[in-house]
Amino acid sequence: MMTLLKQLRLSGLYEQLPQITEAARQSQLSYEAFLTQVLQAEIVTRQERADRRRLRAARLPFKGRLEAFDFRFQPSVSERLIRELAGLSFLESATNVMLLGPPGVGKTHLACALSIKALEAGHTVLFITLRDLVQIIEQPHLPYKADPMKRYAQAKLLVIDEVGYTRLTSSQARALFDLVSMRYERGSIILTSNLNFAEWGTLLSDDVLATALLDRLLHHAEVITINGRSYRMKNHMNGDQPSNQPKTK
Ligand code: ADP
Ligand code: MG
């Protein structure tokens, strides 16, 4: 029996079949009901495996969950708006989300939180820093290799984290513009940045390109500006807290 399962690649049933068979015997299931249970067990296992694969492929930097976000600490973030975004209708309208603010205010955390919601709803998500992204997409596409640009263009949700820490070369800026154009009105981008929009010309070393890029990014977008304190510094500024807490990156 196990050999047959192996041949059919029904590995999900491997561990469960003995219990399913025993339970079916005891409750005297019909052949049809038994077969349905068996097939369902395999489908559930496959689904779980696919979900884990999607989660891994998303490459979230950490599991920042919405439930763990302290809105009282960061009053400049509208809890109502974030909860609305967590309902994911922005994905269907291909609306972008721009999370702006200084380091430590929770931009990456909120981007992770929305990513987790999207993953739980069954969507593909790719999370990457701008620095890594441009290095990948600026490479010429080799015919025998999967086009990385396509991969980042096609994910249901693309998160571009840490926009502003690295200045782009002109070919990187061009590649970023192409990617954003490919996703324009097709797929949402969540972007985090410590820059204001006026600084994008410097970031891309090209004012005209920056204007065109922002035009596409902001046409359908929620812009969330966070101007509170750094959560990382929280304990250090309270005074009554030990200052030797392990630093989170
Ligand atoms: P940013 O990306 O804006 O620099 P992060 O999202 O990386 O900041 O946040 C830094 C750390 O602080 C992370 O570990 C994050 O989980 C935590 N953090 C930030 N803001 C909050 C908050 N309001 N509630 C709970 N944790 C937070
Ligand atoms: Mg961050």
- Per-residue pLDDT of the chain in tens (249 residues, 90 and over written 9): 889 998 999 988 988 999 999 999 999 999 999 999 999 999 999 999 999 999 999 999 999 999 999 999 999 999 999 999 999 999 999 999 999 999 999 999 999 999 999 999 999 999 999 999 999 999 888 888 888 999 999 999 999 999 999 999 999 999 999 999 999 999 999 999 999 999 999 999 999 999 999 999 999 999 999 998 899 887 665 544 444 445 444
The CA-CA-CA angle for residues 186, 188, 189, to 5°, reads 130
User: Quick check: 161 and 60 in contact, CB under 8 A?
Assistant: no
Q: HSE on the CB side for 95, CA within 13 Å?
A: 15
CA distance 67 to 155: 25
Substitution candidate for ligand 1 out of 231, 237, 248, 249 with most atoms within 8 A of CB: 231
Q: Which amino acid is at 14?
A: Y
- Of all atoms in ligand 1, which is nearest to the CA of residue 110? 6
φ, ψ (nearest 5 deg) of residue 188: -70, 150
Residue 236's pLDDT is what? 67
Q: Give whole-number Cα distances, 68 to 26, 80, 189, in Å.
A: 45, 16, 23
User: Quick check: 119 and 86 in contact, CB under 8 A?
Assistant: no
Which residues approach ligand 1 with their CB closer than 6 A?
64, 68-70, 73-74, 103-109, 192, 231-232, 248
pTM of the entire predicted model? 0.89
CA distance 189 to 133: 13
